[in-house]
Structures are given as C-alpha cells and as structure tokens.
Structure 1
Amino acid sequence: MKIGIVTEYFPRSEKFEIRGGAEGCAFNEALYLSKNHDVIVLTSREKGMPPSYKIGKIKVITCGLERKYTQSGSFFKRIIFMIDAYLKSRKFDFDIVIGYNFITHSIAWLISKSKGIPVVARYHDVWIGEWTKNIGISGIFGEFLERFNLSRNFDAIFAVSNYTKNKLKKYADSNKIEVIPNIVDINVPEVDKSNNPTIVCVSRLVKYKRVEDLIRAIHIIKKDIPNIRCKIVGTGPMLNYLKELTKKLNIEKNIEFCGFIEKHEDVLKIIKSAHVFCIPSIVEGFGIVVIEAMGCQVPFVATKIPAIVESTGMKGGLFFKPTDYVDLANKIKKILTNKRLYTKLKKECKDKYKEYSRDNIGKILEMKLKEILSKPKK
C-alpha cells in the first residue's frame, strides 16, 4: 500500500521527540506500516526542520510556514499549513490517506476527494460542545472545524477507545467506526529509583490537565512524608501559574519543573526512576503516557475518567475523583506506604502493558486498511 499520513506534528527522528498523543500515535503507526508499505507523512514545519527528511523508511514532508508547537491559536499559520499540505499531496500517488487530528481530518478528506481514494480519520477524543471549556475562546475555531469534519463522508473512523467511539456515534455512522487502541511500545531504560519517594507527571501544562491538583496534593502529602518529591515534565501556558502556586504553598523544594524534554528516552528515564506516576487530567481520549508508565512498571494514580479506566482496565494503579486533590493525596500515600499493594500493582502494570505492543496493534491497523482498500469503489 501507498499510505499518506497527515498529522499536525511529527518527530524529527527516531528519538521520538513528541509532546502529545496524536503525534505519538501517528509516529508509532507510521513506523509499523513502513515495514511493508510506502508511507509518506505531511506535517508542520517546526523551527529548524528541512523541507523533507526520512526516519527509517518513512518519508516526511514539512508544510506551511515555520512555527512553534501549539495546541490552541496560531490560526493563520495553521490555515497556511492546511493549504500547503493539500497542495503538496498532489505530488504523491497515495492508495489511502489518514488524518490524525481535527486540523488534519479535513485535509485528508480533501486529498481523498481530489484523488478518488479512501480516507480514514484517526480519532482520539470528541470535543464538540467542550472546546471553549477546555481551551478557552480560541476553542470556537476547533468547535466549528470538528463539526465540519464529522459531517464529511469518511470511509472509516478509527477510534482509540470504546469511550471515544461512543461519543462519535452521536455525529457519525456507527458502522464506520472501528476501535483500534494506540500502539504503546517503548524501550524501557534501566535506571535506579530516586532516593526520595518521587511522583512524576508528564503533561502539557494546560487548564484541563489539572496539574495544579497534583501540586496541591503534594502540599498535603508533605505533612506526612516531608521528603516527597514531584517532577513535572512538560510546558504550556499554565507554567507560570503553577510555579506561583508552588511558591504560595511553600513547596518549591519538593517540586521540580523539568520543562519539555526532547528525547523520549530521557522522559522514560524520569518515569522509571519515580515511585508513582500521576495523571490528574479531566480530559483524555486514551492516556498513552499512563500505559508508558505501566511499561516502566511504575504504578499510577489517575483521574477516574472513562478513557483511562478503559485503557488500563483498572489495573496497575488507583483512581481518584476528578479535581479532588485530597483524594489524590490519599491515593498517592496509599501506594507509597503499602508494600504489598505496590508489588501487586507493579505486576499488573507489566501484564497489561503487553496488550499494546506495536505488533499486536499494528497488525490490526494494517488489516483494517487492507479491508477498506478491498471494498469496491463507489
């Protein structure tokens, strides 16, 4: 197959420099599919990126104006990216095209119409009715675009979870929706555990990720475990607020803001060295990083929301009530102070993680793409 992948962001190398689930999904799937098929990726041109480059057998074409990674705003440069990606797609003879987020679903659809080929929307979460709540006034653009996307006639929609599929059923033909989980296949580093009991959180620092709940929980935990440490990996518009909150609670010595870490291997080392992984987010379509923590055999504490409950099978960690930082603090303390529970959760992590291997999920993805191509053209 000749497969076109349209993703707003994509790593620069096999070092897997990612900041979000959609590009991680695109990278892992491109990597698997490129073993036996021709894969061309159309993505944004971030600073320092050349017009084209290769990662293994994957050919990457950068499109639009040079720009920084952003989750919201950047309307003009996003529109230029969309137009340029569509124009550059004309040079390639795809058999099928896949879009990986709300910005690229419409591009993939337009490419399919111009070439008369099948199109797939890879879907992580549905935000219709929730855009402005999640990211503010700039979410109006996302609301409009997602509604437009889901009114298009995709040949298939690949949802990452049943949770996402059920949300999609309100807006798309349920017969066209397939559930294919994310590939989570990492090389687990060998590192020593931190000397102090350590919590790690890997997250974009945006409102709906609720990292402030973790900071408040650390403030509570410190009363019983004075040497508690927390490492927060990621960047975003909430950074200054979170730093000020840390100062206000007088826990600056307990919390380390690590910023964006370019090498995925280095992120995994931080996770592996910790004792507990935390994801306090109230909005997730799957929660890839939780499964990565499971791969590192680090028990988690996560918000009890449908997507994470589904992806983990409620194995390998404990859940707390959304936005309830007191409950979060209690669950973290429970894991840190109960050795028998900790051992049990580590084993559950190891067993559950195996379900998301590149071979297991990749074979399903490949089979579904072949099924779409085998159908008679309309």
Structure 2
Amino acid sequence: MKICFVTEYFPKTESLEVKGGAEATAFNEALQLSKNHEMIVLTSLTDGMSSEYEIKGIKVKGCGRKRSYGQSGLFRDRLSFMYAAYQEGIKMEVDLVVGYNFITHPVAWKIGKKLNIPSVARYHDVWIGEWIKNVGLAGITGEILERYTLSRKFDLIVAVSFFTRRKLEKHFSGEKIAVVPNIVEFPPFEVEKYPEITISCVSRLVEYKRVEDLIYALHILNKDYPSLRCNIVGTGPQESHLQKLVEKFDLQKKIKFCGFIEKHEDVLRIIKSSHLFCLPSKVEGFGLVIVEAMGCGVPFVASNIEPIMEASDNKGGLFFNVQDPQDLADKIKVLLENKEIYIRLKEEGQKQYQEYKGESVGEKLEYHYTNLYEEYNKKG
C-alpha cells in the first residue's frame, strides 16, 4: 500500500528529535510500516526543516507557514497547517490516510473523503468535556475539533489502550475501534549512573502533567535525603512557575531543568543514568515514557491513573495517589530504602518492555490497515 500519515510534527533528521508522544508514535509506526509499504508523511514546516525530505526511507512533506514547535495556542499557524496539509493530501495518489492528533484527525478524514480512500484516526486519549480543565480556555478549540472528529465516519479508529477505547465507545461505534499500543523500542546501550541518587522526569511542562507535585515531594524528602537530585527534561508554559517553586524551596542545587533535549537517545541516557523515574501526570493516554524507563531498567514512581497502570501492567514501579505529593514522597522513599523491591521492579519492568517492540506492534497495525484496505476495495 501507499500510506499517508498526517502528524503535526515529525523528526527533521535521523537524530530523531521528537518532543511528544504523538510524533514519536507517528515516526515509529511509519518506520515499521515502511518495511512493506510506501510511507508519505504530511507535517508542519518548522524552523530548520526542508519543505521536502526523506528520513529512513519515509518521504516527508512540510506544510503551511513556517512555525516553531508548540502544543497550545498558535491557532493561526495550526489552521494554516491544516489547510496546507489537506491541499497537499488531495493531490497525492495514496491508498490509506491516518491522522495522529486532534489537529490532524479532521484533515485525514477530509483527505479520505476527497480521494475516496479509507481514513483512520490514531487515538491517544479522549478529552471531550475535559479540554478546558486540562489546558484552560485555549482548550475550547480542541473541544470543538474533537467533537467534530468523533462525529465523522472514520473507517477505523486505532486506540493506544483499552482505557482510551472505553472512552471512545461513548462517542463512536465500538465495531470500528481497534487497540494497538505505542511502539517503544531502542537499541541497548550502557551508561554510568549519576554519582548521587537521582530521579529523572521527562514531561511537557504543562499543568496537567503535575510536575509541581514532584517538586513538592522533593521538598518533603530534602531533610532526610539532602543528596537526592532530580533532572527535569522538557519545556512548556509552566516552566517559569516551576522554577519559582524550586527557588521558593531553595532546591536550585538539587533540581536541574534540562530544557528540550534534541536527540531522543540523549533523553534515554538521562533516564538510564538515573536511579528512579517519575511521571506525576494526571492525564495520559498511554504513558510511553514509563515504558521507556522500564526498558532502561529504571524503576518508576507514577500517578495511579488507569492508562499508566495499563501500559505498565502494574509492573516496574510504584503508584501514588494522583496530585498527592506526600504519597509520592512516601513511594520514592520505599524505593530508596528497599533494595529487594527495587531489584524486583527493575527486572519485571525490563520484561514488560518486551511487549512493545516495534516488529510486534507493526504487525498488528499492518493487519488492521491491510484488512481495512481490502474491505474498502471490495465495497467499491
């Protein structure tokens, strides 16, 4: 088949610079499917990016006005991208089109309708009724777009988890929903652990990721564990607020804001060099970075929300009550003081990581897409 992915962002080089789960998923899945199919990706034209290029055999086309990376606001830029991606998409000869987030789902659907080909939505989470709570007033646009998306007759929605599937079933026919997890795979590598006990956190710095709860927990632990350190990888609108909180607790020498790390392999090195990983988020569709931590052999402490617990199969780490810094601090303390628990979680996490290897997940996607394509053509 000739398959088109529409994703808001995509790596520019083989260094695989990615900033969020949706674009990491799009790249990993395009790479797996490219083994047997021709892959074309429509994405935003970003700074330092050619309008057309090829990466690992995947053809990429930058669309719309040149823009910087961003996950909120940027309405005009996003509208420009959506329109330009649609215009590019309807010129192509492709057999199937897949959208990867709330911005690209409607674009993929409209391309599918125009070209009379199957359209697919790759779905990470459902935020209907939650947009404003999660991102503020800027979420109004997301609310409108997602309601529009789920009122369209997609030929298939592929959810990343059963948690997401259950939320989708409230708005879309369950017969047209498949569940295929994200691909999480990277080559083995060796690093030295940081000399002092270190926690790593990789997250967009937005309110619903609750990174501030980790800072509060570190403040609680500071008296008993003065040598404890933390590396926070990521950027976002809450960065200034979080830095002020660190200053308030006089933790500037204990907590480091690493900003955006361009090479994903360097992010993985930070995780693997750490002794613990933390994901305090109150909203996730899958929890990809938790699986990466398990693959690095680093036990985690994460909020007890369903998608993270599903992705990990309740293995590889401990779960704290969401938005409860004291419980987070207590769970970190358990791992710091109990070597047997730490080793058990490390071993079971590495075993669970094997479930997300690219070849296995790629075969599941190929099965669904091939069946969809064949059934669509039978109908004429």
Range of TM-score over shorter length: over 0.9
User: Does 2:253 match 1:253?
Assistant: yes
User: How many residues end up aligned between the 2 structures?
Assistant: 378
What is the aligned partner in structure 1 of residue 191 from structure 2?
A: 191
1:81 aligned to 2:95? no
Aligned match of 1:271:
271
- Per-residue CA shift, 1:36-85, capped at 9, x if unaligned? 11000000011111111110110000000111111111111111100100
Aligned partner of 2:289 in structure 1 is 289
Query: 2:175 aligns to what SS in structure 1?
Result: helix
Residues 1:222 and 2:230 aligned together: no
Q: Distance in 2 between matches of 1:109 and 1:158?
A: 14
What is the deviation of 1:337? 1.3
Matched residue, 2:71: 71
Q: CA deviation at 1:377?
A: 2.6
Q: Displacement, 1:221? A: 1.1
Query: Residues 82-106 of structure 1: CA distance to partner in whole angstroms, max 9, x if unpaired?
Result: 0100111133211000000000000
Check conservation: 1:22, 1:101, Cα contact below 8 A.
Answer: yes
Cα deviation, residue 252, structure 1: 0.9
Matched, 1:149 2:149: yes
**Which residue is equivalent to 1:137?**
137
Cα offset for 1:188?
3.4
State whether structure 2 residue 45 is matched by structure 1 residue 30: no
Instruction: Structure 2: give runs of 5+ residues left out of the alignment.
Output: none
SS in 2 for 1:135: helix
TM normalised by structure 2 equals: 0.99
TM-score between both structures, scaled by the size of structure 1: 0.99
Secondary structure of the residue aligned to 1:158 is strand
The letter for the 2-side match of 1:377 is K
The amino acid of 1:37's aligned partner reads H
Give the drift of 1:258.
0.2
Cα distance between partner residues in 2 of 1:281 and 1:328: 12
Structure 1 stretch displaced more, 186-195 or 100-109: 186-195
- The 5-angstrom pairing of residues 1-378 of structure 1 reads 1-375=1-375, 376-377=378-379
One-letter amino acid matched to 1:197: I
Distance in 2 (alpha carbons) for counterparts of 1:90 and 1:176: 24
Q: 1:214–1:280: 8 Å Cα contact kept in structure 2?
A: yes
CA shift at 1:28, angstroms?
A: 0.3
- The answer to whether the Cα contact below 8 Å between 1:99 and 1:121 also exists between their aligned partners in 2 is yes
Where does structure 1 lack aligned partners over 5 or more consecutive residues?
none
Amino acid at match of 2:99: G
**AA aligned opposite 2:205:** L
Q: Quick one: percent identity of the two aligned structures?
A: 57
Q: Quote the Cα distance in structure 1 between the aligned partners of 2:153 and 2:101.
A: 16
Runs of 4+ residues over 4 Å off in structure 1: none
